[in-house]
Amino acid sequence: MTIYINTDNGLFQSFPIPSGDSWREATEQELQDLSAALRKNENLIRESEWQAQEMLVIEDQRMAIEEEDPEALPGTDKEWLQYRTKVRKWIEGAEGYPEMTRRPVRPS
């Protein structure tokens, strides 16, 4: 079986997954490469899900600000717009991506 992982240049790279006895024949480097590719893919999925969730929060907060909702989170409409731009640009290639500690920070 083979899996395909999106690489830094936007192309997909194939990684054969050893099965049965072929696990014993796989080199340490092949296993490390597969493991690294899977971790990277998990990070990309995690950050994509975070980004989608934050976009929903941003729109909700902008609506709350417009409606002068007393339970709106801190920040002005302009700050939330600026945050939305940062979240939208939080993609592969952005500085710090995909480190969770380097994500854009909500207005406070």
In sequence order, the 6+-apart residues with CB closer than 8 A to the CB of 33 are 15
Could you give the CA distance from residue 29 to residue 5 in angstroms, rounded to a whole number? Answer: 17
As for how many domains the chain has, the answer is 1
- Domain presence at residue 108: no
Task: Going residue by residue through the chain, which has 108 residues, state the pLDDT in tens, using 9 for 90 and above.
Answer: 666 666 665 666 676 666 666 666 777 777 777 777 777 788 888 999 999 999 999 999 999 999 999 999 999 999 999 999 999 999 989 999 999 999 999 999
- Domain presence at residue 107: no
Confirm whether pTM is higher than 0.75. no
Structural domain range at position 16: 2-102
Residue 41 CB-density burial (10 A; 0-12 exposed, 13-18 middle, 19+ buried): middle
Token pair in block for residue 9: 């240049």
